[in-house]
């Protein structure tokens, strides 16, 4: 999919609208940023426009905004301060999403200046104008600039005013982060290098039905861990004790197992505990030995060994979702070990589809050992399902 990028347009002296994804996690008590990765990932595009003499007008959403209280909690003011520190450059912050104050500030920008205006979701307080892609709002925001650079892959699966709405009224190109997401996530879907291995984890089969089905058509192997594995194990007739299960998905899982054959690889052992707690005593058992009063909370060492063996020789690897209850230290080893196995593949394109898997790789210090870590959880999943993303479709083709 060849899309125009920020390098394909004239920037000097022009007002460049840049949709970024600054939806960063904040501490509930201190309201301080706890992970600035999404801000860091946006820096290459911002720096490039600055260096080319463009006037940078940044905007993003942050959290959900349904009340005046949410507006106070989810202001982008603190993001602007952190961005200024990372960029080493003063950022003008404008605490509104439209109007004379914003327009005057934009018109006062010099070449290479940067401005960030307030949370686009503030427009949802009155009729969900942003998230329902109000045509007048998209047209208004488009009128503030000369070119639109969409660098927010995290919202590319949403048909919002701040991406699709603006792109309907002004030339739209991708930023460098969006370009990478299209290249790697899109490449894994449309034109993967084989052998292609996908690893899926997380709690529920229902969250990833379409992803599993699409990947079984594309990949050579699909390895399944996490809470969803117990639905598949029960579908095979195994007793899973009190483990997480979606009984309404058992027939689907059974049909998938039969259809996939040896393409679908399930864990062969698990860490079983008496209760859903890090302090609960646990044991490593084969998947056919989970007791009635036990809960499976992670894949076991034999499963890690099996998955590592399946990964050998792979040329493309996509990983989405943890292998166990990663938040609990005693049940995080499956995720850590699989992460390490992928990181040690020297000749493969390795891609993490956001979420907990991305957090694990960053936390474990393996971020630089992966080809690409996606910034979009939901967008990555929909891309892996084979869906067209509205935000990507709206970018001009080369």
- Tell me the C-alpha distance between 266 and 243, whole Å: 15
- Tell me the C-alpha distance between 295 and 223, whole Å: 21
Q: How far is CA 308 from CA 76, 302, 335, in A?
A: 42, 10, 12
Q: What is the pLDDT of residue 358?
A: 86
Which whole number is the average pLDDT over 328-356?
A: 92
CA dihedral 380, 385, 387, 389 (to 10 degrees): -10
Dihedral sign (CA 272, 278, 281, 283): positive
Does residue 391 surpass a pLDDT of 90?
Answer: yes
- Tell me the C-alpha distance between 55 and 111, whole Å: 5
**pLDDT tens readout for residues 184-226:** 988 888 889 999 999 999 888 888 888 999 999 999 999 999 9
- Tell me the C-alpha distance between 222 and 77, whole Å: 43
- Tell me the C-alpha distance between 237 and 316, whole Å: 32
- Tell me the C-alpha distance between 158 and 161, whole Å: 9
Q: What is the pLDDT of residue 359?
A: 82
Higher-pLDDT residue of 384, 268? 268
Which whole number is the average pLDDT over 172-181?
A: 96
- Tell me the C-alpha distance between 18 and 151, whole Å: 7
Mean pLDDT of the chain: 94
Whole-model pTM: value is 0.88
pLDDT bucket at 355, cuts 50 / 70 / 90: confident
Domain 187-384: which CATH class? alpha beta
Q: Which residues contact 185 (CB under 8 A, 6 or more apart)?
A: 318, 351, 353, 372, 374, 380, 383, 384
> CB of 56 within 8 A of CB of 16?
yes
Does residue 1 surpass a pLDDT of 80?
Answer: no
Positions of CATH 3.40.50.1260 in the chain: 6-177, 187-384
Q: What is the pLDDT of residue 363?
A: 83
Q: What is the pLDDT of residue 377?
A: 79
Which whole number is the average pLDDT over 229-234?
A: 97
- Tell me the C-alpha distance between 247 and 381, whole Å: 23
Does residue 57 surpass a pLDDT of 90?
Answer: yes
Q: Which tokens belong to 196?
A: 């292609």
Active site residues: 38, 204, 355, 378
Does residue 313 surpass a pLDDT of 70?
Answer: yes
- In the CATH scheme, what is the code of domain 6-177? 3.40.50.1260
């Amino acid at each position: 999919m060849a899309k125009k990028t920020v390098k394909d347009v004239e920037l000097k002296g022009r007002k460049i609208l840049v949709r970024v994804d600054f939806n960063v996690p904040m501490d509930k008590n201190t309201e301080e940023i706890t992970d600035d990765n999404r801000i860091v990932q946006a820096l290459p595009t911002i720096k490039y426009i600055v260096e080319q003499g463009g006037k940078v007008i940044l905007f993003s959403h942050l959290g959900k905004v349904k009340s005046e209280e949410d507006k106070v909690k989810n202001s982008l003011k603190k993001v602007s301060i952190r961005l200024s520190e990372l960029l080493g450059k003063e950022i003008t912050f404008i605490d509104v999403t439209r109007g004379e104050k914003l327009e005057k500030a934009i018109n006062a920008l010099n070449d290479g200046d940067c401005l960030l205006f307030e949370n686009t979701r503030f427009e949802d307080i009155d009729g969900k104008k942003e998230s329902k892609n109000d045509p007048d709002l998209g047209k208004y925001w488009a009128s503030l600039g000369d070119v639109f650079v969409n660098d927010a892959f995290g919202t590319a699966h949403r048909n919002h005013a701040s991406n699709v709405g603006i792109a309907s009224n002004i030339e739209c190109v991708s930023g460098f982060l969006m370009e990478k997401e299209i290249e790697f996530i899109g490449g894994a879907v449309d034109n993967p290098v084989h052998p292609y291995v996908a690893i899926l984890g997380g709690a529920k089969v229902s969250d990833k039905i379409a992803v599993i089905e699409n990947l079984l058509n594309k990949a050579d192997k699909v390895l399944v861990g996490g809470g969803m594995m117990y639905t598949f194990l029960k579908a095979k007739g195994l007793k899973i004790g009190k483990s997480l299960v979606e009984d309404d998905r058992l027939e689907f899982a059974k049909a998938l197992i039969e259809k996939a054959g040896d393409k679908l690889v399930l864990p062969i052992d698990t860490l079983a505990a008496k209760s859903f707690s890090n302090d609960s005593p646990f044991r490593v058992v084969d998947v056919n030995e989970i007791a009635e009063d036990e809960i499976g909370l992670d894949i076991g060492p034999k499963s890690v060994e099996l998955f590592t063996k399946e990964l050998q020789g792979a040329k493309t690897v996509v990983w989405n979702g943890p292998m166990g209850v990663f938040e609990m230290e005693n049940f995080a080893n499956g995720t850590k070990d699989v992460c390490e196995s992928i990181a040690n593949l020297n000749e493969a394109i390795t891609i993490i589809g956001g979420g907990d898997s991305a957090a694990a790789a960053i936390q474990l210090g393996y971020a630089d050992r992966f080809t690409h870590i996606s910034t979009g959880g939901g967008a990555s999943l929909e891309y892996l399902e084979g869906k067209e993303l509205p935000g990507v479709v709206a970018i001009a083709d080369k």
